Amino acid sequence: MGFVQIVSHWLAWVFLLSEWAIRLVMLAVVPFRRTPAAAKGWLLLIFFEPWIGLLLYVLIGRATMPRPRIEQMARVPQALAKVRERLLKHPNIFHPELSPGLEWTGYLAEKLGRMPTFAGNAAEIMVDYDAIFARLVTDIDRAKNHVHLLYFLFIADAATAPVIAALGRAVERGVVCRVLVDSLGSRSGLHILIPKLTALGVEVREMLPVGRFRSKRKRLDLRNHRKIAIIDGRIAFTGSQNLVAADFVGGVTYEELVLRLTGPVVLQLQYIFATDWFLETNGALESGNIFPDPEITGLIPIQALASGPDFPIQNNQRFIVALIYAARKQVKITTPYFIPDEPMLQALQTAALRGVDVHLIVSETGDQVLVSWAQRSYYKELLEAGIKVHLYQTSFLHAKLLTIDDHIGLVGTSNMDIRSFVLNAEHILVIHDPGMTGRLKTEQSRYISNCRSLDLQQWRQRPFRLKLAEHLARLASPLL
């Protein structure tokens, strides 16, 4: 045996032993502080491809937040303590009586997200993509003190050009404009967006920055998925729509739902923005101009529920599961991505078995192939439990809303998937109002009228190759 063959032989043994060492070590490491489903997904990857799995785990798989982030988050309450103290004592901040039997919902949301229900709000449902941009531009042009934008995806394109121009005009009037964009979500366009906004005098920061020399932000999988626009602390926009053209993904046109809000709840969204700004800049936004005296503009009780890896538990998942178990008549979920964890899947199945009319509204076609396959793998279980699955035909329905009976509606940025429950910074608005809930249900009925409803027998007859692809994708669902 020649020298080269000997070296190759030993290298092969070293490689083989290293793979088994990785498998055995990670068998002890991966399950730590992780759900069984997530642990199963990581271990499956590592056992098949040890070195690739280890590399991905180091990049995106660790179960703890980076220490600098934990320490910075711990300083938020003190940095914004004066704001909370002043606002909670204001006469226009009061907690309304909620629907009988549902008082606990406001209490639970407050315990999870630390924000109470505020009465006195007005809300407008907006679904026209271009009209949402136009209304935002109009409000920015009327701004007198500040404009705050926090978006997962903000791209400088033809659709957002009027928004960027409005920010420039606002700066010229002396209005302070601050923009937060997710580093990875907006990565493809940051090299254009940031210089353009900076040249206009806009203060812009990347959220959760990623890069070779950004060692304090090593978790590439932790993203800020929120979408909030605030003008003068008086007007807010939030919902599913990013700042990007509706057709930014080839072959897909996005359809959205956004709320334009006025009233005290705007200050809760402002608090979320101020928290994220502090986490990225160490600067506390606490002045009376940033948090003006709240105004009563309507009759709707609303509270914001923030969630994400900065919180000790999965706020949005816990609250939504609790609502599903509490439903008595109907549950309607509209989401672009449906990859539930086991508790949510069981809650939906149990609700249907109790006689609750449960509907899931998702798009027929997706914008992410692997996610779409994994999502489809759940339809059979849902249909067998009596849950109605509706596939939207008109466009890619990106709206994110949920209605429970006739009393509670949820609108926000959170998808019904494991990523939104565990890894993304998200928020939802909890709307404790039958009238507003009815308007949201009207939108969901409109969606259903443009859907193809699945039939269990027909779904069972789909080709085996599709079933195989769907269930293989499902194995990776905790990692998506």
Distance CA 109, CA 427 (A): 11
Task: Show which residues are catalytic.
Answer: 225, 227, 232, 398, 400, 405
Which residues, listed in sequence order, are joined to residue 357 by a DSSP beta bridge? 330
Tokens (6 digits) for 412: 């926000």
Chain position carrying tokens 């549950």: 331
The angle, 0 to 180 degrees and rounded to 10, between the axes of the packed helices 265-281 and 67-74 is 140
59: left (phi over 0), alpha (psi -120 to 50) or beta: alpha
- Report the SS3 class of residue 59: helix
The beta strand positions in 175-268, using DSSP E, are: 176-182, 203-207, 223-224, 227-231, 235-239, 254-255, 258-262
Q: Is 450 exposed, middle or buried (0-12, 13-18, 19+ CB in 10 A)?
A: middle
Distance CA 303, CA 104 (A): 13
With beta carbons less than 8 A apart as the criterion, state whether 367 and 252 touch.
yes
Distance CA 52, CA 25 (A): 15
